[in-house]
Amino acid sequence: MTITDSVDAAAVRRPPTSRIKRAMLAPWQGLVLTFIAGLNIGVVVLQVDVLAFIGLGVGLLLLPISTVVCRQLANLSRHLAWRWQGVNIQRPYRPKPRFQRGVMGIAERCRWILRDPATWRDLSWSFLDMVVGFVLGLFAAVLLLYGIEGIVLSALWPLLVRHGYNDWYTFVHVQQGNEKWRWVPAGMGVLITVLGFYAAPGLLRAHALWTRVLLKPTRSAELALRVQRLTETRADAVDASAAELRRIERDLHDGAQARLVAMGMNLSAAEALLEGHPDEARALLLEARDASIKALTELRGLVRGIHPPVLADRGLADAVRALALDSALNVEVTADLPGRALPPVESAAYFAASELLTNVAKHAGASRAWIDLSYENGLLRMTVADDGRGGADPAGGTGLRGVERRIGTFDGLLTVTSPPGGPTVVALEIPCALSSPKTSSS
């Protein structure tokens, strides 16, 4: 399951975004959140009316529609919380079962909706967001704009009052004959602008955290989602293991095995020619030696593809640094790993990093990339970010899907955020335990 709503983004290091850019975006983001809060008024009214008319039968027909509207708005808020603030909120809805046809199917669908706790959490969020979301979004939207308005009023005071402007700015009455107060709005505007510069991004962050409080899955929902995910990844793991075994068998059959067979035939022929034709026998022995070198190289490459020696010897952090050095991009690696994970987990993370760097080099049009490795609360976290064009879609290719299946074997989760224009941030987390550090296999 590829998601955009499950990794704690507090642990994700993105390409740096300036405070000025965040502050400049805050008013428009606040307006969007205020608009969503306004839409929630209609959603709450619709849902309450539909629930009230369930007993008359009309509600049974309208409940699926009204619930879809409510969930779409909640999912939009989850998406914006991640995209704007890095606060990930997993969708908690129960899997949709098969329903009968006809009236019984409609009744089953309504019962499934009403028995899902996420339905009521969405409705509670819609109800409270009308106030909390509206206030946080509105203040984030108006602080900077209101401060700038004060500066503009002072600068254009003569022109404005000459054309009949007559209004208040904080405690100052902007009107003809009140010129002694002209520069007070500018001073107040500067203070409000500075306040908005620092407070507006914090208000948006508070909005995202508030959204997570109500829209995140409950403990029981998290367990149900994990069971569902483990069921899906178990089948993926079996298929991936079978495919890997077939690849190894094919590589051995077509590569090293064929060279070993040819080498054996050359040695047999050289043995027959050794006494009567020593020069021809020597040539065959040289061919056999070359074949043995090539077979050994192919075997080493095959072993490296299964478990790279640098990973076994130096650990995940150094192995990823080696990948970065081999990359055509300028890759910055930061790592904070207090120990070693189990070899299968390290291997999965290593090959995930390799695949993600390959994707960046091939498709992102990026010049730089960042890899961050960390471990916290029983989770191995890795983030790969780039400064490319964005627009990465897990459904559009096999690369991200392959990474997803690889870490899914260990109950890992993959998060992708890639707005058009970039940056692209791919974060994954794998539950595991770390042993004491080990830097050598000897």
Per-domain residue ranges for the chain? 1-217, 236-306, 311-431
Instruction: Return the pLDDT at 442.
Output: 35
**Mean pLDDT for the stretch of residues 333-348:** 88
pLDDT of residue 83: 81
Beta bridge partners of 335: 373
- pLDDT the model gives residue 206: 92
What is d(CA 96, CA 111) in angstroms, rounded to the nearest whole number?
12
For residues 293-299, average pLDDT: 73
Q: How far is CA 243 from CA 219, 248, 256, in A?
A: 35, 9, 19
The answer for residues whose C-beta is within 8 angstroms of residue 442's C-beta and 6 or more apart is: none
pLDDT band at 8 (very low <50, low <70, confident <90, very high): very low
Buried b (16+ CB within 10 A) or exposed e, 133-159: bbebbbbbbbbbbbbbbbbebbeebee
The answer to whether residue 396 scores a pLDDT higher than 70 is: no
- Whether residue 423 has a cis bond before it, omega within 30° of 0: yes
311-431 classified as CATH 3.20.20.450:
no
> Which one is the CATH code of 236-306: 3.40.1360, 3.60.21, 3.30.565, 1.20.5?
1.20.5
Q: Report the alpha-carbon distance of residue 41 to residue 74 in Å, rounded.
A: 13
Q: Give the per-residue pLDDT at 73.
A: 93
Alpha helices, DSSP H, located in 216-308: 219-251, 257-273, 278-306
Q: Which has the higher per-residue pLDDT, 254 or 156? A: 156
Q: Which residue has the higher pLDDT, 71 or 327?
A: 71
For residue 4, what are its two tokens? 């955009």
Mean pLDDT of the chain: 80
Provide long-range contacts, Cβ within 8 A and 24+ apart, for 306-309.
Answer: 306/248, 307/343, 307/347, 308/350
> Where does the pLDDT of residue 135 fall: very low under 50, low under 70, confident under 90, or very high at 90 and above?
very high
Over range 232-258, report the average pLDDT.
63
Give the pLDDT confidence score for residue 211 in this predicted structure.
93
Instruction: Give the whole-angstrom CA distance, residue 27 versus residue 138.
Output: 8
Whether pTM exceeds 0.75: no
pLDDT, tens digit (0-9, with 9 covering 90-100), for 352-391: 898 888 888 888 888 889 999 999 888 899 999 888 888 7
pLDDT tens for 170-200 read 888 888 778 888 888 888 888 888 888 888 8
pLDDT band at 439 (very low <50, low <70, confident <90, very high): very low
Ranges assigned E (strand) in 343-412: 368-376, 379-386
Q: Is the dihedral of CA 110, 113, 117, 122 positive or negative?
A: negative
- The pLDDT value given to residue 144: 79
3-state secondary structure 185-202: HHHHHHHHHHHHHHHHHH
Decide which of 355 and 393 is more confident: 355
**Range 64-87 average pLDDT:** 89
Checking DSSP bridges between strand 330-336 and strand 368-376, what pairing results, if any?
Answer: parallel
Confidence check: pLDDT of 254 > 70: no
Give 294 or 225, the one with higher predicted confidence: 294
- Report d(CA 117, CA 225) in Å as an integer: 13
Q: What is the pLDDT of residue 39?
A: 94
% of the chain with per-residue pLDDT over 90 = 16
